[in-house]
Amino acid sequence: MSIWEYANPKKFIETAGRILPVLLPLAMGFLLIGLVWGFFFTPEDYKQGATVKIMFLHVPAAMMAINAWGMMLVASLIWIIRRHHVSALAARAAAPVGLTFTLIALVTGALWGQPMWGTWWEWDPRLTSFLILLLFYLGYIALWQAVENPDTAADLTGLLCVVGSVFALLSRYAVKFWNQGLHQDSTILKVGEKDPLDPAYYWPLIFCLIGIVLLFLALVLIGTVTEIRLRRLAVIEARERQEA
């Protein structure tokens, strides 16, 4: 019994079919509890008022936007090294999800920034890096769609993901160098330090974070199963055309 057994598409679909009915409601439950708790049962911030509650959507989306790219990088490396098709398809399935999370983070950030900083957009390092991340996602997805042969597409996008990761990291530090920030640092892991996140916000935020991780997993599983089925369909169609 090793983890590579799940690289078998048949086994993967079976397992995903068993996990999903549990995973999806669990993700929705965590998100629902976290968001309702966060939006309606936490006090308002003394400086930011009710706008602080945008955090419960903004922070988890931003976190997953970055982690989704990390997952794509790992999946691409597994594809390049071990040639498991499921891995390449999982990377493909994760890209639109990551793109959506990036967009959510940018839009909620703009909505939050308008009342707080007095501007929808600021060329702050964090904001700019997210905009660049968005471009990387767009390029990755576009390359998947442009190449016809699925194996060639998987190889090329995998390569792009690896090289892109290096340049994304470089851009992150280049952008930091280029402009000083307006955006505050992360405070989730600062419990016990100076200026921590208020305990009243802590648990609802944790619920939202767990919920969004589970949601991401569920969406990627669904997407991967769909990609596998699409691939099978294409093979069946090609075979029928040949026989006809």
Partner 1 sequence: MIALLIRDLRLALRAGGGFGLGLAFFLLVAVLVPLGVGPEGTTLAKIAPGVLWVGALLACLLSLDRIFALDFEDGTLDLLATAPIPLEGVVAIKAFAHWLVTGLPLVLAAPVLGVLLHLPQAGYGWLVLSLLLGTPGLSAIGAFGAALTVGLKRGGLLLSLLVLPLYVPTLIFGAEVVKRGAAGMAVEVPLLLLAGITLGAQAALPFASALALRINLR
Name the H helices within the chain: 9-40, 55-82, 85-117, 125-146, 150-178, 199-243
| 87-11-222-80 Cα dihedral, nearest 10 degrees | 0
177: tokens are 């160098």
Residue 159 or 234 having the CB closest to partner 1: 159
Nearer to partner 1, 13 or 156 (CB): 156
- The token pair at 152 is 């060639």
Nearest residue (CB) to partner 1, 164 versus 204 = 164
Who's near 28: CB < 8 A, 6+ residues apart? 211, 215
Please tell me what DSSP assigns to residue 122.
-
The SS3 assignment for 45 reads strand
Residue 168 vs 225, nearer CB to partner 1: 168
Nearer to partner 1, 66 or 219 (CB): 66
User: Which residues fall within 8 angstroms of residue 76, CB to CB, at 6 or more apart?
Assistant: 87, 88, 91, 157, 158, 159, 161, 162
Nearest-approach distance from CB 21 to partner 1, in angstroms: 38
Please state the closest distance from residue 138 (CB atom) to partner 1, in A.
6
Would you give the end-to-end CA distance of the chain in angstroms?
Answer: 42
Binding residues for partner 1, per CB under 8 A?
132, 135-136, 138-139, 142-143, 146-147, 152, 155-156, 159-160, 162-164, 167-168, 170-171, 174-175, 177-178
Instruction: Give residue for tokens 């090793």.
Output: 2
Smallest distance, partner 1 to C-beta of residue 81, A = 13
Q: How far is the CB of 130 from partner 1 (least distance, A)?
A: 12
CB of 131 to partner 1, least distance (A): 10
Region for 49 from its dihedrals, namely left if φ exceeds 0, alpha if ψ lies in -120 to 50, beta otherwise: left
CB of 176 to partner 1, least distance (A): 10
